[in-house]
Chain A
Amino acid sequence: MPGRDTLEPEFLMFDLLMQTSVNAIYAASYMALIAVGLVLIFGVMGVINFAHGELYMLGAYTVVYLYAGEEYPFFLAVAIGLVFVGLVGLGMERALFRPMRGNPLGGLIASIGFLLILQTLAVLGFGVRMEHIPPQTQEVVHLLGEWAVTVPLQRLYVIVATVVLLTALWAFLRYSKFGVALRACAQDPEAAALQGISMNQTARLAMFIGAALAGVAGALTAPLVRTYPFMGHSVIVTAFIIIIVGGIGSLEGAVAAAVIYAFVNTFVTTFSDGVVADIVGLMLMLIVLVVRPTGLFGVRDRA
């Protein structure tokens, strides 16, 4: 940008702050997708899905296979990723979580087992190396007129998709019959069952939506992040921090915590370094746990 060098330092600082905020919004978006799915699954089934990061990885690998490999259009690959990972979630519900109902630790252990299986399958199918995924678009969108705040279109997709999907989910949970049934099960499974709500049906629905959200997050961010079979690890750690800070079981809390965490993390990473950012994030969570052992928005003690 010609001429910008002559500007006052505080203007450059403002640019940097704005740019970092945009980056944080992007990070908050896909983390919110993942965390909301995790919370939804926990709310209905009472199980912490440790394999959630691997569902995210599976979504990314759908794009690796279909878009980078078979040259499908990017958005078709993303849509297939959403459905495919959702179906994997259905399979998990049937094979792992239903037999383990009423045994939260058992469900958690089973999902750790499933995580190892998914990771190994990814290694066997694609190798341990990082995948190269050509970006679908190189375009950069300029925000705020003359300020040097930019957002790559590829990242903007993630932000827009998150807003659309989470709004749709909110409307679904609030207004549809299934959504009401789902919330009822999350609040009191026994009372819901007495009202004639099928627990299996609801669990399937929650698992499909939760897994599909993780899958679509992975599919959308595949060209933007390091895609390799163990990519789920760092994601699940962050997702745990977010759902704890937000209060396990609270969808609004998860979204709010995703935003808080992403801003803290992005700003500390920008102005210090990544390891310090991780430490700050974990400390944030520990402090929340010590001060409010059920999270910021958590009301019930389910665990």
Chain B
Amino acid sequence: MKKYNVMIFLMVVLVGMTFTSAALAEFPDKPLTYVICFNAGGESDITARIQQQPLEKVLGVPVVIVYKKGGGGAVGWSELLRAKPDGYTVYGTNLPHTIVQPMTRGNAGYETEKIDNIYMFEFTPDILAVSMDSEIKTVDDFVKYAKANPGVSVGGSGEPSANSLGCQAFGKLTDLNLTYISFTGSGAAVPALLGGHVKALMTYTSMASQYPDKIRALAVAADKRAKALPDVPTFKELGYEFVEGAYRGVAVPPGTPKEIKMKLEQAFEKVNYDPVVIKKMEDLGFIMEYYGEDSSKSLVTKLTDYYGKLMKDLGLLKK
């Protein structure tokens, strides 16, 4: 009897070991779900679609993109906290969204720190843009115009967002009275600009590269010029200390095993160095970034600090 027991025990241990090690070695062995917390066809969707095929090649399993939209992403991100932490579900995340939503809403359904970003792959800086036929040609022109016409309307995507906060921060910096008008997406604000319903846009670089013959970007709110817009100066070059924009990354549910997170981090990094991915992203005005899990964490900490102060200054903190 005893012998049998030992044998069974050993077998269980052996089988168990092979299973666990197999599970780790073979992750992933079933399709990966990539959740987009916004509309299909939006920019988060487009960036994910660019990654989809190369990611399938790197991971060796199908990658399925699904949409859980609502609340400016908050509905999806609050579900992320409760999703199964097995690494088979990753969520697209956006900064500063996951930082400012919990600051301004009583209960956004998640806390900034709980969003475990394993990789941040791109940065989309704000641009100040006008219509191609506008008399405004430079940032100085715009400042002059806005001084003469207080309350000038500036459209952008969402509120609070990198656009709305950027508009307000820029207004504060230059002591201008700007009226920010929020639209339901970067694309939705474009017809309002072209139709003359708003004077300018505080939008993203991607819009300038998607509408090159219709939108004139005056300046980019980044440390260096965007590759897709080589002729557009940065605000810093023009003497305005103004950097603002949105980051995109991917996060896994809290409690996902370290090994699996590392595998995913490496996979996304590998995809991010794929020349086809780089070309497609840069053509659309996105700037490649390579923040792994740890550097993403420090980025979030840094930005939480920055937005906390900014929103306090602007009187937007509700918590």
Report if A and B associate in a common complex.
no
